[in-house]
Amino acid sequence: MSVMNLIMCLFLCTLSVCCFASSHRSILREVSDNDRSGIDRDYAVELNATNFDAVLKDTPATFAIVEFFAHWCPACRNYKYEKVARLFNGPDAVHPGIILLTRVDCAEKINTKLCDKFSVGHYPMLFWGAPPKFVGGSWEPKQKNSDIEVIDNARTADQMLTWINKQTSS
């Protein structure tokens, strides 16, 4: 069994126990490089300064991950966030309603103030929290006891799934 499969199994088992105890829906799927059509889709919800608060306010998801990125950033292009987003977002999501995965392009002029509110100092920068905590919220690096947490150690799909698993199982 590969490391990816082992991590995925642990993640899915934990989610099934925590979130789907009364559900009979199968959650055994894997994160792959492409969907069934062979086209690499981005399932992360694109946010900007005009829809940020509304989308996060209206989501039924318990948690949100917001990726602040720049479309010109090589590290952002190499980061395969959409592999994880496919599990939680979109019409074929394995775990809908648990975590909303979103993105904000800080290179777009409309998003400058929004990215500044969250003290985005590098790309990509990922945040975790309850969706209502992002609405009208902000984040500062020196802030203690924030309801919004920076995800520092999740630069691959495997690391992201491990990180999410730790957060949802505690």
Domains and CATH numbers, the chain: 41-154 (3.40.30.10)
pLDDT attached to residue 21: 35
DSSP string, 88-131: HSSTT-SSTTTEEEEEEETTSGGGHHHHHHTT--SSSEEEEE-H
pLDDT tens per residue across all 170 residues of the chain: 565 555 555 545 444 434 433 332 222 233 333 344 444 556 889 999 999 999 999 999 999 999 999 999 998 888 767 778 888 888 888 888 899 999 999 999 999 999 999 999 999 999 999 999 999 888 888 777 789 999 988 888 889 999 999 998 85
Q: What is the pLDDT of residue 41?
A: 58
Buried b (16+ CB within 10 A) or exposed e, 119-158: ebeebbbbbbbebebbeebebeeeeeeeebeebeebbbbb
76 CB-side CA count, 13 A = 18
pLDDT of amino acid 149: 92
Give the residue numbers annotated as catalytic, written as ranges: 73, 76
Per-residue pLDDT at 164: 92
The pTM (predicted TM-score) of the whole model is: 0.74
Query: What separation in angstroms does the CA of 112 have from each of 68, 106, 136?
Result: 11, 6, 15
d(CA 80, CA 160): 10
